[in-house]
Amino acid sequence: MGFLGLFRKEKKPEVLEPKSEESVSLKLKDLGTWFEDNFSKDIDKSKSRGGELFQNVTDSISNLRNSFVSLESARFSGRERVHAAANMIKDSYVKKAYPIITNIEKVSRETGMSYSGLNDFVTEVTKTIETLKKTTPKQAVLMSRYFKKESEPIKSSMKEVNGSIDSLKTWLDEEVTLRLLESIKKKTGYQVSGFDEMKSLEKRKNDIKNDMIELKKKKQDKESEYLELLKGNDWKSFNSMEKEIKDIKNDIMKIESDLTNELSPMKRPLKKLEHTLRKHDIMFNHKGFLKGFIQDPFGSIKTKNGEDSLRSFLFTMNKMFHDNKIELKDKERERMDVLLEKMVREIPEIKKKYNDLVQKRENTEKRIRESSVIVKKKDELESDVEKYSRYTTDMEKELKDVSREQEKLKEEMHSKVKDLEKLILKETGREVEIVG
């Protein structure tokens, strides 16, 4: 006797014995075929029984339609208002019933002979039939009083539909073969899809690894090119110019600082002098120079005629002092004498050195600008190395994510395969090992 008899309360049918009781190893894609081959008789019997019960439902629905056709053609011939109302309510009830029955018939035509198909059919018909039973108290009274003869077959047909549906539902609750066949096909389909996804993830992993190899090679090439650039004469020359311009700027700043320190002590007496000249309204050819010198001593000196103007100014000031046109303290006059001596002896040479350094700085800056190609190349190489490093890091993260996803899916597939093996063993008593 086959395994299905164990799950049925009704009389145990004759079922096909499995061809072998030995355990088998099967590929996942062959599992459904194996089940159909080994339990074909049970499957055929289940489909046949399910078809019979399904036909009983559709026949009872057909009888129900015929009952409504009879009710539709019936007319109450009385002339009282209540008679007209009865006909109107009856027509309304029939009009409501036809679409409901039509929908049931449509569902029955679309139902396949599978466990889930029959189960869905039972659910849909049960729900739809309930809507036919819903009548108002007024409808129930008028229908039973004036169309009792035509209403009785409808009640009987509905009872018949309910009975046939209940029989089909009871059978489905106890049915094993079709339910197991469908479960196997559904689960194997899901599993096959899962294994296909695992293959896709494996391909993605290999693609990422290949891309990473290519990226690392590109990064190494750019790093090598970058190191070669730094070792080259062009970059050494550029670096030396950078150092040179830095040294020149420091020398210029030192000269500016030294001259400013030399000239700054004169600002106080010169301000005093400017006040005296303005107070006594003394005519003086160097008022413009004096004002600029007080504000920016070094700036005044480094102009084209700055040192001549200062020298002339100091000589004039000495003369005015000796002519008693202005008054200066001895210390202030000594400072002017010292500055005059420096103007003659040191400042021209310092200024020349300053101007030479400025010219050298400008020439070096020009050479640096002309070397912008190598700087641009260096920046591009640095950017490429950084870019490939970032891409590689992103791909390493993606590789880890794909690997984790693959491992998770692998564990899930393994678990579901084992569950499927247990299900088959439980329902059929056959040990099946699913491989590949």
pTM above 0.75, yes or no: no
pLDDT at 10: 43
Encoded tokens for 185: 């096909």
DSSP tag of 17: P
pLDDT at 17 over 50: no
The region of weakest confidence among 128-132, 163-167, 277-281 is 277-281
Q: What average pLDDT does the chain have?
A: 79
Full 3-state SS string of 131-194: HHHCCCHHHHHHHHHHCHHHHHHHHHHHHHHHHHHHHHHHHHHHCCHHHHHHHHHHHHHHHHHH
Rounded (5°) CA angle 257-262-267: 105
pLDDT at 203: 92
pLDDT at 167: 93
Are the C-beta atoms of 127 and 77 separated by less than 8 Å? no
Instruction: Report the share of the chain in percent with pLDDT over 70.
Output: 85
Cα dihedral 368, 373, 379, 385 sign = negative
pLDDT (tens digit, 9 = 90+) per residue, 372-387?
Answer: 777 788 888 889 999 9
pLDDT-derived band at 283 (thresholds 50, 70, 90) equals: low
pLDDT-derived band at 436 (thresholds 50, 70, 90) equals: low
200 against 339, higher pLDDT: 200
Q: How far is CA 327 from CA 67, 154, 284, 315, in A?
A: 140, 139, 15, 15
Return the H-helix or E-strand segment holding 240: helix 233-263
Which residue, 354, 352, 342, is CA-closest to 253? 354
pLDDT at 1: 34
Return the H-helix or E-strand segment holding 37: helix 31-38
Which residue, 33, 19, 2, is CA-closest to 176? 2
393 against 369, higher pLDDT: 393
The region of weakest confidence among 163-177, 272-286, 398-412 is 272-286
Mean pLDDT of all residues in 344-354: 77
pLDDT-derived band at 280 (thresholds 50, 70, 90) equals: low
pLDDT-derived band at 277 (thresholds 50, 70, 90) equals: low
Instruction: Report the share of the chain in percent with pLDDT over 90.
Output: 13
pLDDT at 207 over 80: yes
Contacts of 233 (CB under 8 A, 6+ apart): none
pLDDT (tens digit, 9 = 90+) per residue, 230-242?
Answer: 887 777 777 777 7
pLDDT at 12: 41
pLDDT-derived band at 285 (thresholds 50, 70, 90) equals: low
pLDDT (tens digit, 9 = 90+) per residue, 50-61?
Answer: 989 989 998 988
Are the C-beta atoms of 142 and 86 separated by less than 8 Å? yes
pLDDT (tens digit, 9 = 90+) per residue, 152-203?
Answer: 888 888 889 889 999 999 999 888 888 888 888 888 888 888 888 888 989 9
Are the C-beta atoms of 368 and 242 separated by less than 8 Å? yes
pLDDT at 89 over 90: no
161 against 341, higher pLDDT: 161
Which residue, 414, 412, 407, is CA-closest to 205? 407
